Structure 1
Amino acid sequence: MFRTSAAATASATSHSPLLPWGVAALVCFVAGGAHAAAAVSGLEVRLSVAQPVLKGDVDVHVSVSITNTSRQPRQILRSQLPGSAPMAALFRISRDGQLVDYTGPLVKRGPLTEADYLSLAPGETQTFEAELTGTYDLSQNGRYAIEYIGLAKQAEAASAISELAPTYIWLEGRSPQPVSARPEPSPSLAGSVSYTGNCTASQKTTLASAFSAASNYAQAAQTYLNGTGSGTQRYKTWFGAYTSARWNTAKAHFVATNDAFKNKAVTLDCSCKQSYYAYVYPTQPYKIYLCNAFWSAPMTGTDSKAGTLIHEMTHFNVVAGTDDWAYGQSAAKSLALSNPTKALDNADSHEYFVENTPPLP
């Protein structure tokens, strides 16, 4: 999952005609495989597996085919296509009705460039392969529903896209996998910050300041939301139309975020040399990997160091379990208007709410 700065989002929007609107989906099963198809604003998307039943501890491969059915070239973000680097949560997978964990990284990216896009000529089809067991928990027997959600994450208003119908696969004969749980931090470590990845002295100083500012952001957001619930301008801008249930969801997210900064053993890692801001593994709290764009960001304010730490902290499943449905301020505002539920599941929306720049009441 990727997040860009507001400037990057504006650039991407002007660069790319791909703002999918309306999906008519159909799922069907044919001999030898399972398929799902949809039409997305001039793009036809097909998701398929070679065999609907797999036995034993085998890898699970899916194919995503995208055809440009329009008369104009279509630009697609490579980061939202299978096989991209870094990996992203491009699928929603459930087993017997229960969502399974995504175990890969969630990455906050820097500004987009021409190289970040794939161009599909009119009539052109490209097929992308993905192996799912490396980044999703498919260790149990059962019926799995697999949905490709990559293109939905490219729309400025992701809610405008109906969900692509899932394709189904049955797994059996899987061997029980050992449970790997992250040990609870000892009391002496709770509320502490440690550094890995060969952080320099100056980086540690910067990170300490950013962590303190992020902690202040989280506390201030919790205090704000502890007030009487209402459709304040600040709330509506980032989370959409007010309801008491949604307000309470936002409050619960920031209670958990504040608790993580105040009371959990957080690790900040400096080993990433990529152009991104940061990334986390949502199933591995509370370790945050800082990348090149992080170090040049302002300490506070829009797309800041402190805001980045908030963004990443909300991704952890034990905190708020957010995803990346919209990137940048403009897209986050549009998402709040069109789909408040997804806004409450969007990491950037949480970041911009705490940064509150320019300030809103």
Structure 2
Amino acid sequence: MLALQALVTLAAALSVAAAPGITLRVEGADTVTDVDNLKVSTKITNSGDETLRILHHPLGPLSKIPTNGFSLVNSKGSSAGFGGAVAKYVPTVAAANGAFTTLAPGESVTVDRDLSDAYNLTATGAGTYDVKPNELFYLVDDKKEVFTLKAQVSKAHKVNIKGRLAKARPEFDPTSSNHTLTKRGTFTNCIPLQQYVAGVAGGQAHNYAVAGIAHLDAMAIPSKRFITWFGGFDWGRGATIRNILTPIKDVNFDSFRYDCSCTDQGVYAYVYPNDFGKIYFCGVFWKAPATGTDTIGGTLVHEASHFYAIGGGTSDYAYGQSACKNLAINNAGNAVRNADNYEYFIENNPYQG
């Protein structure tokens, strides 16, 4: 009996010892003149006893594009406006592609970020801000399955900001030598094959949106397909869905501006929601299928839905089919504002009528 108790105690101790852990420490200047100089360094440390594979998730500090991976809150409790990029991302695909950082126990990595690329302080004003990274991390286990872990912030950052509160963004210059103007749109850093694939994707996106609207028009009662991706029917949410899908159906993807310079192997594509018509393709897009799930055409629907000009735009509350189905069940209001839910509704794979 005593031996059994000893084994149980030892097993419990080993379980605690093997618990994964991440700690975060943020450093930067105490005072900043002009938001262009708002730069921070985040030290991410594996504080547990097992090796971690940390995904470069768009909502985390390891993201390689200027996404919403931080919170900036002023002394009045108001959050800085987000003006950065929103991306199509599938955690399981990113894991399979090796788009993660591996940290052994006790090992750290430091990431530098220019927060002016993602945040606008015009509405919240000058003053003191608390800056900290998002605490939820996505990790990959030995079976390449994704799980989440909440990090501990050992040191947030406090900064006083004055001067210019929003970064000036470069305007589109159609005469630039980096751009190629074709009948399929304007392309930056795209080879001919990439231009062709983008054109095919635009046609598919249009067809997907047309079929999606036709499905809505034919519904006498909420279909299984509708309920799967948007939850139970509500007139307000129904109007939101139409206000997003209809402009996507009507948009001319041939007139869009496409940039192929992103090579991130965890991201399909991204946009800046207030820069209508410009899509940045990343590494995963060129491996995406033409039919099925997470397609090239579906990616364009996903990204187009983010634009504020498209029914007010969508967010990324959930990524991937499983998470989006759960979102429709648990929070239909967010589901009708989630880009992936629109993509999976129009791709309709597996087929639901």
TM-score interval, smaller chain:
0.5 to 0.7
- In the alignment, which residue of structure 1 is the partner of 2:302? 311
Partner residue of 1:76 out of 47, 54, 57 = 54
Q: Which amino acid aligns with 1:294?
A: F
- In the alignment, which residue of structure 2 is the partner of 1:352? 344
Partner residue of 1:88 out of 46, 53, 67 = 67
Q: CA RMSD in A?
A: 4.4
Moved more, 340-349 or 279-288: 340-349
Cα distance in 2 between the residues matched to 1:325 and 1:176: 25
- In the alignment, which residue of structure 2 is the partner of 1:8? none
- In the alignment, which residue of structure 1 is the partner of 2:322? 330
Partner residue of 2:87 out of 74, 93, 106 = 106
- Identical columns (%): 31
1:117 and 2:96 aligned: no
Once the two structures are TM-superposed, the CA of residue 325 in structure 1 deviates from its matched residue by: 4.0
- Secondary structure of the corresponding residue to residue 106 of structure 1: strand
Gaps of 5+ in 1: 1-40, 184-191
Once the two structures are superposed, residues 141-192 of structure 1 have per-residue CA deviations (whole angstroms, 9 ceiling, x without a partner) of 256565633626679799x98xx9x977553333786687779xxxxxxxx8
- Secondary structure of the corresponding residue to residue 285 of structure 1: coil
Once the two structures are TM-superposed, the CA of residue 52 in structure 1 deviates from its matched residue by: 6.8
- Secondary structure of the corresponding residue to residue 360 of structure 1: coil
1:151 and 2:151 aligned: no
- Secondary structure of the corresponding residue to residue 202 of structure 2: helix
- Secondary structure of the corresponding residue to residue 112 of structure 1: helix
1:294 and 2:290 aligned: no
1:137 and 2:120 aligned: yes
Count matched residues.
311
- State the TM-score, normalized to the length of structure 1: 0.65
Partner residue of 1:280 out of 251, 271, 278 = 271
Once the two structures are superposed, residues 118-141 of structure 1 have per-residue CA deviations (whole angstroms, 9 ceiling, x without a partner) of 345567666644331133224652
Partner residue of 1:172 out of 153, 157, 162 = 162
- Tell me if the contact between 1:302 and 1:357 (Cα under 8 Å) persists in the aligned partners: yes
In structure 2, relative to structure 1, the CA distance for the partners of 1:258 and 1:62 (3 Å cut) is same
- In the alignment, which residue of structure 1 is the partner of 2:179? none
- Secondary structure of the corresponding residue to residue 118 of structure 1: strand
- In the alignment, which residue of structure 2 is the partner of 1:35? none
In structure 2, relative to structure 1, the CA distance for the partners of 1:236 and 1:311 (3 Å cut) is same
Once the two structures are TM-superposed, the CA of residue 78 in structure 1 deviates from its matched residue by: 3.4
In structure 2, relative to structure 1, the CA distance for the partners of 1:229 and 1:98 (3 Å cut) is farther
- State the TM-score, normalized to the length of structure 2: 0.66
Cα distance in 2 between the residues matched to 1:176 and 1:119: 35
Once the two structures are TM-superposed, the CA of residue 56 in structure 1 deviates from its matched residue by: 5.1
Cα distance in 2 between the residues matched to 1:230 and 1:176: 47
- In the alignment, which residue of structure 2 is the partner of 1:12? none
Once the two structures are superposed, residues 44-86 of structure 1 have per-residue CA deviations (whole angstroms, 9 ceiling, x without a partner) of 6556566776555562244545565655444421345435434
In structure 2, relative to structure 1, the CA distance for the partners of 1:244 and 1:144 (3 Å cut) is farther
- Secondary structure of the corresponding residue to residue 186 of structure 2: strand
Cα distance in 2 between the residues matched to 1:128 and 1:200: 31
Once the two structures are TM-superposed, the CA of residue 216 in structure 1 deviates from its matched residue by: 1.8
1:213 and 2:196 aligned: no
In structure 2, relative to structure 1, the CA distance for the partners of 1:123 and 1:296 (3 Å cut) is closer
Once the two structures are superposed, residues 202-231 of structure 1 have per-residue CA deviations (whole angstroms, 9 ceiling, x without a partner) of 554443332122112123323434566965
Once the two structures are TM-superposed, the CA of residue 347 in structure 1 deviates from its matched residue by: 2.4
In structure 2, relative to structure 1, the CA distance for the partners of 1:124 and 1:176 (3 Å cut) is closer
- Tell me if the contact between 1:197 and 1:270 (Cα under 8 Å) persists in the aligned partners: yes
Gaps of 5+ in 2: 1-18, 141-145, 174-182
In structure 2, relative to structure 1, the CA distance for the partners of 1:226 and 1:180 (3 Å cut) is farther
Once the two structures are TM-superposed, the CA of residue 357 in structure 1 deviates from its matched residue by: 1.0
Q: Which amino acid aligns with 1:211?
A: G
Partner residue of 1:222 out of 200, 207, 213 = 213
1:235 and 2:226 aligned: yes
- Tell me if the contact between 1:197 and 1:269 (Cα under 8 Å) persists in the aligned partners: yes
1:268 and 2:267 aligned: no
- Tell me if the contact between 2:53 and 2:139 (Cα under 8 Å) persists in the aligned partners: no
When Rg is computed on C-alpha atoms for both structures, the one with the higher figure is: 2
Q: Which amino acid aligns with 2:64?
A: A
In structure 2, relative to structure 1, the CA distance for the partners of 1:149 and 1:347 (3 Å cut) is farther
